Structure 1
Amino acid sequence: MNKRKITILIVLLLVSFGPYYIYQNIIYKDARDINNEKSILTISAKNLENHYAKNALQADSKYLNKTIEIEGTATEVTDSSMVIDGKVFCKMNEIVKTNFTNKPINIKGRCIGFDDLFGVVKLDQCSIQQN
């Protein structure tokens, strides 16, 4: 009788805490820290946009959800975003306090794909690597 109670108790514990464990350790993962990740490549903004213009599916397989560095000239700067060479839109991690307009810049971020509406490649979680 005692073994049966222990077995039932173990089964109840597994049934009640199993989904929580699966959710915490398999489904829900901490957000990536792109700033501390090593980039897979450094590419100019014009070359990246050209790859997407030629073949978006192939470019997605190469760059989508990957940490990359973009080199170019900042053509548009706001407090929370930058456009590099008019080709790559970068959503910044932190507020941009210095004016980088028309200056060469290197940005690291995660590629989230090509925006057909605006005709730009988009990156998020971006940070300035050098100025």
Structure 2
Amino acid sequence: MLFCLFFEVMRKKIGIGILVMTLLFMAVYFYVYKDHRNISTEEESYTMDVKTLFSAYQNNETAADSKYLNKTIVVNGAVSMVSIETQSVVLDEKLFAVFSTKLVSGIRIKSNLKIKGRLIGYDSLLEQIKMDQCVILN
């Protein structure tokens, strides 16, 4: 009798343990494999020119990171460099932007460009702001 009661309690504990482990596995799985962000359709958090954004990083890098890092931002500025091979553009010599789609060859140096992308950081050695997943808005 005591033996049967012991096995009944153990069976319930094992069942509850399996249920908890399954729920934990599912939670971790859905956290790790969540959908990727689509920056081009995402609503922007901030809109500004490159000089304003760069000034924020020059004044206080930590505060600027907490405000802008990993956010969708729309920036505008003058094109300083274009690289069709690497699909990148430099605006106002201060913002390095990598595009998610192929760049058109019509982008000219010193032309005004408005882009939307995700801010991924500030390189204090090169004094450049970095963005990725960018798209051209104008």
Query: Shorter chain as normaliser: what TM range?
Result: 0.7 to 0.9
* Aligned-CA RMSD value: 2.2
Matched residue SS, 1:36: coil
1:109 alignment counterpart: 117
Matched residue SS, 2:104: coil
Q: 45, 57, 66: which one pairs with 1:52?
A: 57
Q: Is the counterpart of residue 97 in structure 1 residue 96 in structure 2?
A: no
- Mapped to 2, the partners of 1:125 and 1:18 lie a distance apart of 34
- TM-score scaled to structure 1, two decimals? 0.85
1:11 alignment counterpart: 16
Q: Structure 1 counterpart of 2:129, which letter?
A: V
2:47 alignment counterpart: 42
What percentage of residue pairs aligned between the two structures are identical? 33
2:136 alignment counterpart: 128
Matched residue SS, 2:27: helix
Residue 20 of structure 1 deviates from its aligned partner by 2.6
Unpaired runs of at least 5, structure 1: none
- TM-score scaled to structure 2, two decimals? 0.81
- Mapped to 1, the partners of 2:62 and 2:21 lie a distance apart of 43
Unpaired runs of at least 5, structure 2: none
Aligned residues: 130
Q: Which has the larger radius of gyration?
A: 2
- Mapped to 1, the partners of 2:58 and 2:13 lie a distance apart of 61
Residue 19 of structure 1 deviates from its aligned partner by 3.6
